[in-house]
Structure 1
């Protein structure tokens, strides 16, 4: 039995070349779509992890608050905002990690009385500003622009990279 020599005809060569190029383009599109989807899922996972940690801290604060009904108003939530994230071109995956590191640094104030936290505001500012935070072999240092103390402690930070 003889197999016809289709590989010598120009029309079949064009067909096989087109199928190969089409397969490569389809694979590139698939990899791009998968990478975009995975990045979005990773962002969502980081946000949800941060929310879970916040809720755990808030729950602990509320449990301590019910034990000590004598304390009037306590800190229940810490909100961190990095104001210049776009200016220094921070990656959207790095920002939640940095915010979480700063929250961990001052998480001990959760459940404390607002009056006590108000007295140690300079200590909080010093604790944030004097520490270098490392993510992916890059070190960051923060400057506190604004600190608002109430049931929700709001900290507005300005980030800079350290060489």
Structure 2
């Protein structure tokens, strides 16, 4: 039995070359789409993890406060949440780094949740010094922050500017 020599025909050679080129392009397209999808899912995962951590801390502080509510019902307003905004996000290389930095700052000052607003407002300079005085390291880069805005109420809103230190 003899196999016909189709590989010598130009039309078959073009078909095989086109099939190979199409397979390479399809593979590259698949790798690109998979990478972008994975990046998006990773960012969403970090957002959700930071939200869960924040809600756990808030829940613990509020449960602790609720236990003491009966005897301290006439106390002033307490801090419930912390909202951190980095003003120069466009200068940072990746949105994942932004979430990590916000989470590190939040962990540094999470002790103020559940405290009286009057106590926190009296020590606002200490709160600023806590943030500005510490270096935060993410992905082998060290960041320092300058507090631009600090609003103290039930939600403590902090706007900071990030600088990469050497």
Alignment of 1:101-120 (within 5 A): 101-120=104-123
Cα displacement (A) at 1:67: 2.2
Q: 2: distance between equivalents of 1:119 and 1:31?
A: 55
> In the alignment, is the contact (CA less than 8 A) between 2:117 and 2:153 conserved in 1?
yes
Question: Which residue pairs with 1:44 in the alignment?
Answer: 44
> In the alignment, is the contact (CA less than 8 A) between 1:79 and 1:154 conserved in 2?
yes
TM-score (norm 2): 0.93
Query: Number of paired residues?
Result: 162
Cα displacement (A) at 1:84: 0.6
Segments of 4+ moved more than 3 angstroms: none
Question: Which residue pairs with 2:92 in the alignment?
Answer: 89
Q: 2: distance between equivalents of 1:76 and 1:89?
A: 29
TM-score (norm 1): 0.95
Give per-residue Cα distances to partners, 1:84-132, cap 9 Å, x unaligned. Answer: 111x133111111110000000001111111111111111111111111
- 1:142 aligns with one of 138, 142, 145: 145
Cα displacement (A) at 1:159: 0.6
When the two chains are superposed, the root-mean-square deviation of aligned CA atoms in Å is: 1.1
| Unmatched segments (≥5 aa) in structure 1 | none
